[in-house]
Amino acid sequence: MELKPTPRSTWTPFPRAGLGRVQKHWLFRPGALTAGLRQLGQVQLRVINEQAIGLHPAEAWMLQRPVRSPIWIREIMMSIDGVDSVFARSFTPLMASHGLWQGMRRLRSRPLADMLYHDPQITRSRFFSCRLHEQNPLYETAQRTMGAQRPPAHKLLARCSVFWRGGEPLLVAECFLPEFWALAAKSAYAQGLNPARL
């Protein structure tokens, strides 16, 4: 199912100008992000928030559902070798969280990948990426997760995609902290790659 951001959205399906090679790689890397992060070091996941809320106006296009319709949201932080590196915001319609996507409620500290990549009935949209701004709901996640320690919004790059199962959507948005790019660049150098303009 094709997704189209609203005209005012800053999400784009194409890499923005000025991104380096490593940034483009991670923002549009297919497959499970967790598996990629494990290539950089030991990954630990902690759940920040799980609750039912209303669908944010800026995210309604992602689920193709009405603004303020009830959703189930899960927000997590992933660290690599003890360094907080990526935080994520995932959500699905509330009814779906009791139905086709009920597994989302039982993950605890396991990654979403454990339920997304073993079912041939699940399809995935294209990736979208953006540089955050303070009104982006994902930056609100950063505020809840890191408080005063959060980086300025313009220093955060994020990506999102939507998984579909039986006509029910599950949005996964992942935001890379500045510390992540240092780890990614170090890994790129170790592999003999040139992380241009990082």
For the stretch 27-57, pLDDT in tens is: 999 999 999 999 999 999 999 999 999 999 9
Residues 6 or more apart in contact with residue 130 via CB below 8 angstroms: 9, 10, 11, 12, 16, 136, 157, 158
- Assign residue 63 the CATH number of its domain: 3.40.1410.10
User: What is the pTM for the complete model shown?
Assistant: 0.91
The reply to whether 5 falls in a domain is no
The pLDDT value given to residue 193: 52
In a domain, 31, yes or no: yes
- Domain presence at residue 174: yes
Indicate whether 8 belongs to any domain.
no
Residue 13 lies in a domain: no
Residue 181 belongs to a domain? yes
Q: What's the domain count of the chain?
A: 1
Per-position DSSP letters for 32-56, written without gaps between them: -HHHHHTTTS-EEEEEEEEEEEEPP
Instruction: Report the chain (198 residues): mean pLDDT per 10 consecutive residues.
Output: 80 90 94 94 95 96 96 97 96 97 93 88 95 94 90 96 96 97 79 48
The answer to whether residue 135 is domain-embedded is yes
- Residue 180 within a domain: yes
Domain hosting 168: range is 21-190
Which pLDDT score, from 0 to 100, does residue 192 have?
Answer: 47
The predicted pLDDT at position 2 comes to 73
